[in-house]
Amino acid sequence: MPRPENDLLRRLPTAARQQLLEHCEPFELVLSEELSVRGKPLQHAYFPTEGFLSLVIDVDSHPPLEVGMVGTEAMLGSELILGLAATPWRALVQGAGSSWRIGALQLRTQINAIPELEALLQACLLSRLHQQTLAAACQRYHQIAPRLARWLLMMQDRSHSKCFHMTQEFMALMLGVRRVGVTEAAGHFQDAGLIAYHRGELTVLDRSGLEAEACSCYAADKQIYQRLMKIRR
């Protein structure tokens, strides 16, 4: 069995991790694939080992808006611990890769059988709730450039790469802003030598500089995760 590279699975004691993985199967994350549909029951939970997902919400006739990211630091489906299967968002694969997948009913069975898993998923869900609340305030009060810097850093953290393929239209869509705002912010970062962007190919050249440009929410996100995810092995 391949060695898991998901941070949540790594936090489990060895015996508990092995027990859980016996009920999981490898699953490839295909770019743009939709893993959950808004308002419909979750059939599976996913532990990414490579790649990442965007959680997007549709409101009326407006374009979809990103409200969260899930990478190797977390999982998709932690809300199953509440016994609720339907979600208010759609989960889209934004970074192709691989994951472990487990059926929703099987996960609930393992939650009851493995106390450490229950505690871990509670912390994971609480962390995401805190981060989504912070993201809502960030969207309301922070300027586009700091928000874009934060988003690019989050992308890099989850993709483990300095290079991404994305359009300015896509960045504007995920941030919920007009394209002109993203164009101005990305141009500023490029002039400052923080990124290189050409025909949809973006490269982070100066991560430290980008961190200095990001709003305080980026550091706060990481602090929330580190504080809530202190699960002893």
Per-residue pLDDT tens for 6-32? 999 999 999 999 999 999 999 999 999
pLDDT at residue number 230: 76
Q: How would residue 85 be classed by pLDDT, with cut points 50, 70 and 90?
A: low
- Do residues 104 and 188 share a domain? no
Do 103 and 167 lie in a common domain? no
Q: Please tell me the distance from the alpha carbon of residue 203 to that of residue 163, in angstroms, as a whole number.
A: 4
Q: Are 16 and 114 in contact (CB under 8 A)?
A: yes
Statement to judge: residues 41 and 104 lie in one domain: yes
- Going 181 to 223 to 165 to 91, the CA torsion angle's sign is negative
With contact defined as beta carbons under 8 Å apart, do 25 and 82 qualify? no
Q: What is the pLDDT of residues 180-229, one digit of tens each?
A: 999 999 999 999 999 999 888 999 999 999 999 999 999 999 998 888 88
Same-domain pairing of 67 and 121: yes
Q: What is the pTM of this model?
A: 0.89
- Do residues 162 and 48 both lie within one domain? no
Radius of gyration of the chain (CA): 18
Is residue 227 one of the residues assigned to a domain?
no
**Domain span holding position 158:** 143-214
Last residue of a domain, one of 138, 170, 186: 138
pLDDT tens digits for range 40-56? 888 999 999 999 999 99
Number of domains in the chain: 2
Percent over 90 (pLDDT), the chain = 67
Q: Where are the beta strands (DSSP E) in the chain?
A: 25-29, 34-36, 44-57, 65-70, 90-103, 163-165, 195-198, 201-204
Tell whether 131 and 17 lie within a shared domain: yes
CATH of the domain at 201: 1.10.10.10
